[in-house]
């Protein structure tokens, strides 16, 4: 009976499509021919969602961003429309059939993500610019739904984690190779590094952040190559990608990315010593206290550095600590001070999600203004993953973000220390150190809301949670979890 019903539906849809096509041709309207593609895509989202999410991972690095398509809106094509449709149809599917695993919502990482997005929704109503905040929260919401909540379901199958990461790497390697080639034609100059990754990455910082994220993963694959029984060809491929990605970061001239790699790889020591997150935070606390005790001496030493950013690795690296004459560094301080001043005025609710760029101008202080500062404050965000939400959503917004990070890292460390599976260890150490590196980068830049970085940040949290829920026992699915998204 089921087969007869399918045949009837097939002929019904076929006849309907013929009539619609004939009607369109009669009226010189050929848009109906797009319908089969829409129906195929809807079918894939509803019944082969895992394939769509994996396809997204490959598409994202090659997608092209358009800053203004009208009404002040920007879009990334083709990934952003796909993300929106996937969010709508998949949420509809899970509501109807109730197949989503509800224990995901009870995980600590999920709890703080829900608190965070819930608070963002609340602050829309107190926002300085409610329409701006609504659009910002909607964008954040679909990133979280697709890359985190749907990601956890995708990663119930361990092999999908490796596929997701390697599809992004495969696509990103094309971009890196293209960028290095174009850069070589211009002599690898620092000036050209600011735009050479376009049209795929609109800023060299975003490009460098994406590349830097995968460097710890490559080291993890090499370290566990024996246990994973990698072939010689695979090892050589990983080494080649490691060298290429290092070269890409080097010639991106992004000092924050260089720092993020150093910190991420430096975290190998605490992992080797099996230090709990609590112990690491205590060490960090005393480190901060030590810095504060000698901050006058530190700032005095920094004030003597007059090396501006310039051509050459040495000069550019040395300029990172120049807070006296380097315009880029001082402008960052200007943005940070503006964010703090905004938070002081609205410490609980903030100015509203996505409003910093429109509201920070009056909160600049004259002593930190530079030649690249503007009276209109129309040149970007606060350059901080932490101060941006503080100024826009207050203490609760920042606090919930910090708790997402801490609960994610705590989960990753605990599972990493307990699991015996090399397959689990390699992805855990890769994405965890990638996140640590990214949020180190996040002290100096703010990219997690972009279409290029959101799949890495929220996807990594979903990988950590999926491993904790389904794969921590020797890298296999728990026995009671058997059905796939498809």
Q: Do the beta carbons of residue 176 and residue 248 sit within 8 Å?
A: yes
CA atoms within 13 A on the CB side of 129: 14
What is the mean pLDDT of the segment spanning 110-133? Answer: 96
**Percentage, residues of the chain above pLDDT 90:** 54
pLDDT recorded at residue 320: 46
pLDDT recorded at residue 368: 79
Query: Predicted confidence band at 484 (pLDDT cuts at 50, 70, 90)?
Result: very low
Q: Do the beta carbons of residue 123 and residue 346 sit within 8 Å?
A: no
What is the mean pLDDT of the segment spanning 440-465? Answer: 94
CA atoms within 13 A on the CB side of 323: 12
**Tokens representing residue 436 in the block:** 């640590």
Rounded to whole angstroms, the Cα distance separating 226 from 162 reads 17
For 228-238, what is each residue's pLDDT tens digit? 999 999 999 99
- Check whether the bond before 78 is cis (ω within 30° of 0): yes
Residue 340, Cβ density class (10 Å: 0-12 exposed, 13-18 middle, ≥19 buried) = middle
Rounded to whole angstroms, the Cα distance separating 38 from 43 reads 9
- State yes or no: pLDDT of 299 exceeds 90: no
pLDDT recorded at residue 123: 97
- State yes or no: pLDDT of 322 exceeds 50: no
CA atoms within 13 A on the CB side of 66: 12
- State yes or no: pLDDT of 109 exceeds 90: yes
Q: Do the beta carbons of residue 244 and residue 176 sit within 8 Å?
A: yes
What is the mean pLDDT of the segment spanning 442-450? Answer: 90
**Percentage, residues of the chain above pLDDT 70:** 77
Query: Predicted confidence band at 99 (pLDDT cuts at 50, 70, 90)?
Result: confident
287 contacts: CB under 8 Å, gap ≥ 6:
none
pLDDT recorded at residue 414: 94
- State yes or no: pLDDT of 470 exceeds 70: yes
Comparison of pLDDT for 483 and 372, the residue scoring more: 372
pLDDT recorded at residue 326: 59
For 236-264, what is each residue's pLDDT tens digit? 999 999 999 999 999 999 988 999 999 99
pLDDT recorded at residue 329: 74
- State yes or no: pLDDT of 472 exceeds 90: no
- Check whether the bond before 246 is cis (ω within 30° of 0): no
What is the pTM for the complete model shown?
Answer: 0.86
* Bridge partners, 77 (sequence order): 64
- State yes or no: pLDDT of 137 exceeds 90: yes
Q: How big is the chain, counted in residues?
A: 486
pLDDT recorded at residue 389: 95
255 contacts: CB under 8 Å, gap ≥ 6:
316, 317, 319, 320, 444
Q: List the one residue out of 147, 154, 253, 267 whose CA is nearest residue 215.
A: 267
Share in percent of the chain as helix, strand, coil (round to 5): 70, 0, 30
Q: E strand or H helix at 75, and its extent? A: strand 75-77
Q: Residue written as tokens 């920042």?
A: 398
Comparison of pLDDT for 80 and 245, the residue scoring more: 245
pLDDT recorded at residue 403: 97
Task: Lowest mean pLDDT of 41-50, 362-371, 418-427, name the range.
Answer: 41-50
């Amino acid at each position: 009976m089921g087969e007869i019903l399918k045949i009837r539906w097939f002929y019904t849809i076929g006849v309907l499509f013929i009539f619609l096509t004939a009607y369109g041709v009669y009226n010189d309207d050929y848009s109906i021919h797009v319908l089969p593609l829409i129906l195929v895509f809807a079918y894939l989202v509803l019944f082969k969602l895992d394939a769509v999410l994996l396809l997204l991972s490959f598409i994202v690095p090659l997608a092209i961003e358009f800053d203004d398509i009208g009404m002040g809106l920007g879009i990334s094509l083709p990934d952003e429309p796909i993300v929106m449709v996937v969010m709508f149809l998949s949420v509809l599917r899970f509501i109807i059939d109730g197949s989503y695993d509800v224990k995901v919502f009870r995980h600590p990482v999920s709890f703080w993500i829900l608190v965070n997005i819930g608070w963002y929704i609340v602050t829309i109503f107190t926002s300085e610019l409610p329409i701006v905040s609504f659009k910002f929260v909607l964008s954040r919401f679909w990133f979280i739904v697709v890359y985190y909540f749907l990601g956890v379901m995708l990663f119930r199958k361990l092999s999908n984690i490796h596929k997701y990461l390697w599809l992004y790497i495969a696509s990103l390697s094309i971009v890196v190779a293209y960028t290095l080639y174009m850069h070589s034609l211009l002599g690898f100059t620092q000036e050209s590094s600011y735009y050479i990754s376009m049209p795929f990455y609109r800023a060299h910082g975003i490009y460098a952040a994406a590349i830097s994220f995968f460097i710890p993963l490559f080291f993890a694959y090499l370290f566990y190559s024996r246990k994973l029984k990698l072939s010689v060809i695979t090892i050589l491929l990983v080494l080649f990608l490691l060298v290429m990605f290092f070269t890409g970061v080097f010639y991106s001239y992004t000092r924050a990315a260089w720092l993020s790699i150093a910190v991420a790889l430096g975290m190998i020591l605490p992992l080797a010593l099996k230090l709990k997150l609590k112990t690491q935070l205590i060490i960090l606390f005393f480190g901060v206290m030590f810095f504060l005790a000698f901050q006058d001496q530190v700032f005095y030493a920094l004030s003597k550095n007059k090396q501006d950013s310039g051509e050459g690795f040495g000069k550019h690296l040395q300029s990172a600590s120049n807070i006296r004459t380097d315009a880029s560094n001082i402008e960052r301080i200007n943005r940070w001070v503006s964010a703090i001043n905004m938070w002081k005025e609205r410490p609980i609710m903030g100015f509203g999600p996505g409003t910093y760029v429109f509201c920070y101008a009056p909160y600049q202080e004259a002593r930190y203004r530079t030649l690249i500062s503007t009276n209109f404050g129309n040149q970007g965000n606060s350059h901080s993953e932490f101060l941006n939400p503080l100024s826009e959503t207050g203490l609760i917004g920042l606090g919930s973000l910090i708790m997402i990070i801490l609960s994610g890292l705590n989960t990753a460390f605990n599972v990493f220390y307990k699991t015996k599976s090399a397959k689990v260890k390699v992805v855990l150490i890769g994405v965890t150190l990638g996140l640590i590196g990214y949020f180190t980068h996040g002290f100096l830049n703010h990219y997690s809301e972009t279409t290029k970085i959101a799949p890495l940040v929220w996807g990594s949290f979903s990988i950590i949670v999926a491993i904790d829920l389904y794969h921590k026992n020797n890298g296999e699915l728990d026995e009671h979890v058997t059905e796939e998204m498809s």
